[in-house]
Amino acid sequence: RKEVEQDPGPFNVPEGATVAFNCTYSNSASQSFFWYRQDCRKEPKLLMSVYSSGNEDGRFTAQLNRASQYISLLIRDSKLSDSATYLCVVSRPYGNNRLAFGKGNQVVVIP
């Protein structure tokens, strides 16, 4: 089983709609969780950290489910500029110094 698994998509989303996707991780001892955004031919950039109680940043909401070992990202009122690949990132345990990256969920917002 891969450390971090994501459905690559693409997720075609009408502008203004809501899109949500999950990411599963294999190591129950993982400590830290992040969503990164990567635009085509660009570097990954931190979108948001994911906290145990769930957290929101504007139109973006992240949730963590430790029991089922998944994290989720929800984007409300999608904008054309939200089109990107969203990488699920999980820290490996025992030092928190290595991150495992999923291959990403590709989101395409359609006018």
Partner 1 sequence: DAGVIQSPRHEVTEMGQEVTLRCKPISGHNSLFWYRQTMMRGLELLIYFNNNVPIDDSGMPEDRFSAKMPNASFSTLKIQPSEPRDSAVYFCASRLDRTRGQPQHFGDGTRLSIL
- Chain residues binding partner 1 by CB under 8 A are 31-32, 34, 42-46, 49, 87, 91, 96-99, 101-104
HEC-encoded secondary structure of 46-104:
EEEEECCCCEEECCEEEEEECCCCEEEEEECCCCHHHCEEEEEEEECCCCCCCEEECCC
Please report how many Cα atoms fall inside a 13 Å half-sphere around the Cα of residue 78, on the Cβ side: 21
Specify the residue, 28 or 97, whose C-beta has the smaller distance to partner 1. Answer: 97
Tell me, what amino acid is at 31?
Q
Specify the residue, 49 or 65, whose C-beta has the smaller distance to partner 1. Answer: 49
Specify the residue, 5 or 61, whose C-beta has the smaller distance to partner 1. Answer: 5
Closest contact distance (angstroms) between CB of 70 and partner 1 is 18
Closest contact distance (angstroms) between CB of 77 and partner 1 is 25
Closest contact distance (angstroms) between CB of 17 and partner 1 is 27
Task: Give the containing element (helix H, strand E) for 33.
Answer: strand 33-38
Sign of the C-alpha dihedral computed for residues 58, 98, 52 and 68 taken in this order: positive
Specify the residue, 104 or 109, whose C-beta has the smaller distance to partner 1. Answer: 104
Closest contact distance (angstroms) between CB of 56 and partner 1 is 17
